[in-house]
Chain A
Amino acid sequence: MSPPPAASSEDIAAVRADLLRFARLQLRDAAAAEDAVQEALLAALARPDSYAGRSQLKSWVYGILKHKIVDVIREQSRSTNVSALGAEGDSLDQTFDTLFSNSGHWAGNASPRAWGDPQAALRQQDFWNVFEVCLNHLPENTARVFMMREFLEFETPEVCKELGITVSNCHVILHRARMALRLCLERGWFSAGEVAPC
């Protein structure tokens, strides 16, 4: 019996690159990311009737990969370093303190300015490169909480439960992650674009 027609090797190569980028961002461990991606690809290849063409293959494998990543995070979170989370937070908070005046209002030119048409950025490859740099720039544990919430779309209480932190701590961390990403995108893209030549 011959195996059913599977995805072409070009399809797999194209999808694999994106999956790896996605897994690395969340796991911050190249070997664990490679492992999770390969397992997800194998699981998808075993079910060739479940997708037709590259884009369906991709969304199918992403679904599997998310579960794999959650498994790895569960393993890793047994060793999540709560004091490391605190230290990361202190360092981010020091940055944010400079954004606000003593009365807690936006200080001078730190007040967020309109970004024009941010939707247009989503169609530009350069924007995604900046976005990836900004995500990678988040401290490791802060990034993990943010990724679980926004990529893996966990509800906040689930994130806290998985990582063994309190709900209020979770909200503090998510606020920091958004502050940091917003600032990074503003500096790296939206206000940088104002002075950059086209």
Chain B
Amino acid sequence: MLNCQEASRLLSDAQDRGLDWREQLPLRWHLVWCDGCRNFREQIGFLRLATRRFPGRDEHTPKD
């Protein structure tokens, strides 16, 4: 059984490389019942979005 530490590593790896089915299947099973890791997955997705927007951040924030 995958634990959260291992799941977080696979979720990070998935942003950088394709996972094979031996990795994907236990990860997906883990995500079915683990709220923390589902949140982690969304949050590192958000990190990528925010990092890529960082250079143009002024276009996204209202001027005052």
Contacts and interface: CB of A to CB of B under 8 A. Distances in A.
Interface of A: 18, 22, 55, 58-59, 62, 100, 103-106, 111-115, 118, 121-125, 128, 131-132, 135, 146, 149-151, 153, 155-156, 170-171, 174-175, 178-179, 181-182, 185-186
Contact of A175 (B4, B9, B43, B51): B9
B47 interface: yes
Given A104-B3, A175-B13, A131 B54 contact: yes
B6 interface: yes
10 contacts: A22-B54, A104-B3, A106-B37, A111-B36, A112-B40, A115-B46, A151-B52, A155-B16, A171-B17, A182-B40
A100 B50 contact: no
Contacts, number: 103
Chain B interface size, as a band, is 35 or more
A102 to B, nearest CB: 10
A182 B5 contact: no
